[in-house]
Structure 1
Amino acid sequence: MVFFIKVSSEENERFFKELDMLADIVAYDHVFGYWVYRLNPAKISHYGLGKAVEFLSRELKSYIPPRILHFLQKVATEPFHMFIELDEGVLIVYPQKNSMISPLISDGIIVYDIHLKSYVAKAKDLPTILRHAEGLGLRVKLGFDLNYKASFTTSFTTPLDSCLEGAYALWKEAGYRGVVVHPVPERRRLLALKAIHELGVRTAILVPSVDHLTNWYSALVSVLRVPESSVGVYGAGVKRLGEITVITYDLALHKLPKLSSYFGLVVADECEIAVTEMYREVLESLTAPYRLGLTSRQYADNNLHTLYPELIGPVVFSASLNELLEKGCLPRCRVLRVYTRLSSEEYEEWKKLMKIYAEFCKSALPRVREPRRRLAMVLELASKDSGAREAIRARLRAREIVLAFEKKIRVVAKLLNMFSDDPIVVFSRYEDFVRELSRKLIVPAILPEIPDDERRAYMNMFNRGAIRILATSTLLDEYVEAPQPSIAIVVGGVSSDKEYVDRVARTIMPRRREALLIEVLTARPSVLKNSFTDLEKSLGVLREV
């Protein structure tokens, strides 16, 4: 609601004193010599609507449009101290007196917008503004609906383990706001489903991909028993709003600011994405007082986790895979390693090739120590330096030797035969290995070039038991919830902590007491620890395969 009044600067002091009781000054036109005022609903509610209309008609000969008059008649039925409007994620605040919002201005929550000529705030800060007003005993009138309650009931009977129960209790104590760090996507999702059930409010679930969207939709319908007509979906070509809406971050950026006050709870899956510069506007544009962030990572890139308290809430619970296992909150995952042996000749060849690469780096890049940066610089030099090209060729050949694809494929084949009744996913960081494995063993493979619909089809077939074996590169390490086998075979070298946690978490079947992860690695002849025969013994396998 905006209604501006132009007033000549030649009016007397009594006139301006009375005008200040029902409008705010916003500008002065130096060219034509008049002041610009804007009607303030909070002031009018105390001054009196009838008196305001009479004053404007008598003193200013101002005509109030029916739309404005109807609006004022609707809101100014009784005195209030603050009026707040909402426009696509922006709160426009009309205080009766500026002193009423001074602390919020000092804290940077409310600012003056020179373009709107108004005090404004982000929609996310509405709960803070309302708490501030309540603390001062101020009556607030809203120009928008703030009823978040859902029109349907849900059913949640799935028991949470003690760790998740503790996490949920901490989230409640923090005012139904905060981030939960947990390595297993399916378990994290149960926490959100309980929140949706207990709060009973309309909910927006932000997800990074179509795969997540499908998983959430299935859980809402099957676990919470939400009517399908009440579950909205935005993604994969579908645009349907529901009282519970699952929406990809990309679409949320354009859709949710128009629904600023519709949702009472917002769930941010893989919430480190939600606080990036590209997407944080989504969280800023929602009035939702209840917020739950879910992630497997306690620390986000570029320290973006420091934005959690402002946009979602503090980290209320964080546990690594090992901590959850020690507390008995996850089924045990047994980790075994089997090493393929390099022959003495292969090992000597590998040392010779790596020496060529190392000596070039030492002579050409003596001050560069970090391996990845050093490799990138050698690749850059290779376009104009024959020595760099020779070093790169030597490194690639050395990599082929140490990865020993042929040997590892034979080991994987034996393992697949050994566990012939179990669902198995073969992970590898090396796409060329996955391609070769898929070709030689006729195993479905998930790779970057695989179309999304084909990838989802493979996952669905695996999860329902139509196929028993699936191979994948590290494409599944980031943000895509992998199928859950009872056995995972990981082929490659030593992985980072996050990759290890993610891939192990995905091997855990909640209904099993123990899952199994087998790493297939390469070792030098002198440090070989476990051969395939050693693995068979550790598993109690008596037959030769």
Structure 2
Amino acid sequence: MVLLIYDRGTIVIKGLMHIPFATLDPRTNSLRAQALNYSDIIHYLCESGIEYTDQVLDLIPSPHLTTTDVSLRDYQQKALNRWVKVGMRGCIVLPTGAGKTILGIKSIERINSSALVVVPTLDLMHQWTEVLSKHITNTSIGNLGGGSEDIEPITVATYDSAYIRASTLGNRFSFVIFDEVHHLAAPGYRSIAEQLAAPYRLGLTATIEREDKLHLDFPRLVGGGVVFEILPTELAKSKHLASYEIKRIQVALTTQEQNEYQKNFGIYQLSLKKLGIRMNYHGSFRRLIMMSTKNRVAREALLARNKAMDIALNSKSKLEILRKILAENRGVKTIIFTQHNSLVYAIADEFLIPAITYRTDKSERKDVLLGFREGRYLAIVTSKVLDEGVDVPDAKLGIIVSGTGSGREFIQRLGRLLRPKLVNADGSDQKAELIEIISSNTRETGTSERRKKALTKINQRKKGQEDDEAEYVEYERGTTSRETDKDVGAESDDKDLMLS
């Protein structure tokens, strides 16, 4: 008789000499496999007609789980049905504001057994806990993270805490939800999925692709790839999300800034030539970073490049354009995004706008977001902390003063504006607007192009069409000549690692 036992993130198989997914452990003279292969092992044994005793799962006792006051929209129900049809494993991609949390709650009801929800931030842990407690009232909701270690039939954990406890909790849940699942593919976090025996798995995100292509591992980690995806443009047509327009405003650097930019960017280009590095393939910049730890020229290249980009991202000309945009949109709820915290504070001081950064304590952040929701504050400025994992009140206008070339960051910032909006007096829908302020004749134009291409790529992947349905309008301010660097736009998003 074959015996299956869970052991610290793995499954020990006794009584067999060979089985797919497993290797021989000489210490115990038995086969051992990663816990994520549990379902595949059971399927293999059943298909092969091999009798076995299963002692893997030791589930936390759970009452019959039912939700209250929860109804799914048509696309949410379609997504849930698709996931169930393929065996309750795989990823669902929904835009920000499309109701991923509610969909997750209904999936827990569908499984009706102990469930672990893994999230990237403490803010998201608290948000999931609040919504779960509201809609599933016949069981306690546990937390694992931020000093809490309450394990309940439904437990919400941060990726960091789940990473630490996965080997001991890996057989206690039959269902796991990976919220913002793109984080799961990271070299450390993927071990969470590998050590969990949970046969049912769901990945939720608005942006599943990663620049390092590690999202290609999701079929193994989550048990399936993308089983359902819907675009913001599709939800805008059905009035579930606001329609949107993306604009680009190019501004010229001041004379002093332009001179400093060209000086530092010239040093960067010359250093690359000395090193024999061309930024024309994925990973080139990472190679430069690695070289900089031991090579003086490589380090000088990085420092010069970062100084040049800092000038482009934080140009004084941008503040003047920002002033004009805010004046033209007085009374409109606005979120201003930047790359660096220093610019956040500069904008906050210049325009007397509340700021939210990683330094903002929990009570102040809560007050600012509540004030924004209630209309006490009509604008807030932030760096990256509101890109993901924070419930941000509705805004109609977003202004990107600076950012990376990351498609994920761009789409998440756009998603902050796409909650359903009110209608105009003539009955037409109010349109959300995202404005990029770009320093012309700098590498920032290439950064903006990568953001645009990322949005277009999603539309092409989903609908097979060449152009994004959003209207992309370009406004020129100042000089408009092309950059002289032939490699512009060739750097992949990992080039932005050194900008922070």
TM-score bin, normalised by smaller chain: 0.7 to 0.9
Q: Distance in 2 between matches of 1:144 and 1:391?
A: 56
Q: Distance in 2 between matches of 1:138 and 1:393?
A: 61
Q: Distance in 1 between matches of 2:220 and 2:162?
A: 19
Task: Give the alignment's Cα RMSD to 1 decimal.
Answer: 4.1
Q: Distance in 2 between matches of 1:461 and 1:233?
A: 28
Quote the offset at 1:232 in angstroms: 0.4
Quote the offset at 1:160 in angstroms: 3.2
1:239-254 paired onto structure 2 within 5 Å = 239-254=149-164
Quote the offset at 1:117 in angstroms: 2.4
Contact kept, 8 Å, 2:250 with 2:475, in 1: the verdict is: no
Q: Distance in 2 between matches of 1:163 and 1:506?
A: 20
Q: Which runs of 5+ in 2 are unaligned?
A: 423-428, 442-472, 478-500
Give TM-score, length-normalised by structure 2. Answer: 0.73
Q: Does 1:196 align with 2:105?
A: no
Superposed CA deviations along residues 164-200 of structure 1, whole A, max 9, x for unmatched, are 3332222112100001122316522222111012221
1:230 aligned to which of 119, 137, 140:
140
Bigger shift: residues 160-169 or 199-208? 160-169
1:118 aligned to which of 30, 52, 74:
30
Q: Which runs of 5+ in 1 are unaligned?
A: 1-80, 532-545
Q: Distance in 1 between matches of 2:295 and 2:369?
A: 41
Q: Distance in 2 between matches of 1:185 and 1:494?
A: 22
- Identical-pair percentage: 20
Summarize the Cα distance change of 1:389–1:493 in structure 2 as closer, same or farther, 3 Å threshold. closer
Q: Does 1:411 align with 2:313?
A: no
Summarize the Cα distance change of 1:511–1:394 in structure 2 as closer, same or farther, 3 Å threshold. closer
Q: Distance in 2 between matches of 1:503 and 1:403?
A: 23
Bigger shift: residues 509-518 or 423-432? 509-518
Summarize the Cα distance change of 1:258–1:186 in structure 2 as closer, same or farther, 3 Å threshold. farther
- What does residue 208 of structure 1 align with? 120
Q: Distance in 2 between matches of 1:369 and 1:119?
A: 47
Contact kept, 8 Å, 1:230 with 1:243, in 2: the verdict is: yes
Q: Does 1:492 align with 2:404?
A: no
Q: Which amino acid aligns with 1:294?
A: L
1:505-520 paired onto structure 2 within 5 Å = 505-510=415-420, 512=422, 514-519=430-435
Bigger shift: residues 132-141 or 399-408? 399-408
Give TM-score, length-normalised by structure 1. Answer: 0.67
Q: Does 1:261 align with 2:174?
A: no
Q: Distance in 1 between matches of 2:168 and 2:380?
A: 42
Q: Distance in 1 between matches of 2:408 and 2:414?
A: 10
Q: Distance in 1 between matches of 2:314 and 2:162?
A: 47
- What does residue 53 of structure 2 align with? 141
1:481 aligned to which of 390, 393, 398:
390
Contact kept, 8 Å, 2:13 with 2:31, in 1: the verdict is: yes
- What does residue 222 of structure 2 align with? 312
Q: Which amino acid aligns with 1:190?
A: I
1:465-480 paired onto structure 2 within 5 Å = 467-477=377-387, 479-480=388-389
Q: Does 1:424 align with 2:334?
A: yes
Bigger shift: residues 430-439 or 138-147? 138-147
Superposed CA deviations along residues 34-87 of structure 1, whole A, max 9, x for unmatched, are xxxxxxxxxxxxxxxxxxxxxxxxxxxxxxxxxxxxxxxxxxxxxxx3222223
Quote the offset at 1:349 in angstroms: 6.1
Contact kept, 8 Å, 2:59 with 2:114, in 1: the verdict is: no
Q: Distance in 2 between matches of 1:416 and 1:375?
A: 43
Q: Which amino acid aligns with 1:125?
A: N
- Structure with larger RCO (C-alpha < 8 A, sep 6+): 2
Q: Which amino acid aligns with 1:88?
A: R
1:264-283 paired onto structure 2 within 5 Å = 264-283=174-193
Whose Rg is larger?
A: 1
Quote the offset at 1:403 in angstroms: 4.9
Superposed CA deviations along residues 223-243 of structure 1, whole A, max 9, x for unmatched, are x2334x510011222221111
Superposed CA deviations along residues 253-310 of structure 1, whole A, max 9, x for unmatched, are 2334223332111001122322333122322222211100112333234332232112
Summarize the Cα distance change of 1:362–1:340 in structure 2 as closer, same or farther, 3 Å threshold. closer
Q: Distance in 1 between matches of 2:439 and 2:186?
A: 41
Any idea what SS the aligned residue of 2:475 has? coil
Any idea what SS the aligned residue of 2:226 has? strand
Contact kept, 8 Å, 1:413 with 1:441, in 2: the verdict is: no
Summarize the Cα distance change of 1:418–1:251 in structure 2 as closer, same or farther, 3 Å threshold. closer
1:87-126 paired onto structure 2 within 5 Å = 87-95=7-15, 98=16, 102=18, 104=19, 107=20, 109-126=21-38
Q: Distance in 2 between matches of 1:185 and 1:197?
A: 21
